[in-house]
Amino acid sequence: MDKLRDYYALTKPGIIMGNLVSVAGGFLLGSRGQVSITTFAATLLGVALVIAGGCVFNNCIDRDIDALMQRTRNRPLVRKRVTLAEALTLGAILALSGFLVLVLFTNPLVSLITLAGFLVYVVLYSLSLKRTRHGTWVGSLSGAVPPLAGYCAASHQLDVAGLILFAMYALWQFPHAYAIAVLHLQDYARASIPVLPVVRGVARIKRHMPAYVAAFTACALLLFFTHNVGWGYLTVLLAMGFAWMRSAWHGRNGEDDRRWARKSFGYSVLMIIALSIMMSVDFASPRASIQSAPLATASSLQPASKIIIAFLGFAP
């Protein structure tokens, strides 16, 4: 049982659950009320398994810096309760299982988008750029993939609404990630992770936080102005955006840094949960929303699905 608990910890269940909220929001927005329970369940399961696999690989890659940080020094790989070979095997099984679920039960577009996000997170972010000042930028791209995958699983296409969804979740990553970096500033400095608060100082982050929140809020407004969501979504967005902005603005000078970061982190989590819920219940009908020609459709990517299946070793 101890070994199973260690395996479970390697998957970072908190990150999985947080991402599944955004997957569900994207899926229900894309479904426009026509929900396929089978596809919905397969999307949640497949994306969850892929994220779990990516998190296990991230643990493998980061075991050296995890040993230096207070909040991560007790992770199973650092304490050698799980061997590197065991962790790599677990990560591969989880990721491949997730891709297989997506290939068989969703559509090729979802599979390709999820594969791209997985590669960005594991290869670009974890293996190299996390340890540079560009880590937050790259991490924001992989973090915005789950809601887009959920949207495309339901809509079977990548369109304007999908791009807006991707952009808003990518922009949300910045105030969220910087709040975490301030909360764990000494850990990041000890591990020589050059996040912006370490490189440029907390004062600069606090001054710029209102701009990050404003950029995210403005992007999220586009879902309303393109008639993809209704007035309920708009009301919640403006109320939450104003509260978050007000907190960031008034706390930028003089307030205790950790207290300020904790409040900003709390607002970021509440915002994304609230918007995911509102997208799920306050979507517009297909006729009401602005639908441009899709950039990609599931049917146009059928050959890609065969390539993915062959890559996974399941080709007939």
Question: Phi and psi for 157 in degrees, rounded to 5?
Answer: -155, 160
Output the DSSP codes for 204-265: HHHHHHHHHHHHHHHHHHHHHHTTSB-HHHHHHHHHHHHHHHHHHHHTSSSS-HHHHHHHHH
The owner of tokens 């609404």 is 161
CB-hemisphere CA count at 13 Å for 201? 4
Nearest-angstrom CA–CA distance, 280 and 270: 15
| Cα 237 to Cα 10, 66, 146, 156, 172, distances in angstroms | 34, 36, 20, 27, 13
Where do the H-state alpha helices sit in 11-83?
13-31, 37-61, 63-66
CATH number (1.10.600, 2.60.120, 1.10.3470, 2.120.10) of 2-312 reads 1.10.600
Nearest-angstrom CA–CA distance, 24 and 28: 6
Residue-by-residue pLDDT tens, the chain, 316 positions: 788 999 999 999 999 999 999 999 999 999 988 999 999 999 999 999 999 999 999 999 999 998 988 888 999 999 999 999 999 999 999 999 999 999 999 999 999 999 999 999 999 888 877 777 778 888 899 999 999 999 999 999 999 999 999 999 999 999 999 999 999 888 888 888 888 888 888 888 888 899 999 999 999 999 999 999 999 999 999 999 999 999 888 877 767 888 889 999 999 999 999 999 999 999 876 555 555 556 666 665 655 445 444 444 443 3
Long-range CB pairs of 131-134, under 8 A, 24+ apart, other chains included:
131/65, 131/192, 131/193, 131/194, 132/194, 133/194, 133/195, 133/196, 133/199
Question: Phi and psi for 179 in degrees, rounded to 5?
Answer: -65, -45
Nearest-angstrom CA–CA distance, 105 and 107: 7
pTM of the model as a whole: 0.88
- For residue 279, the Cα-to-chain-centroid distance in whole angstroms is 16
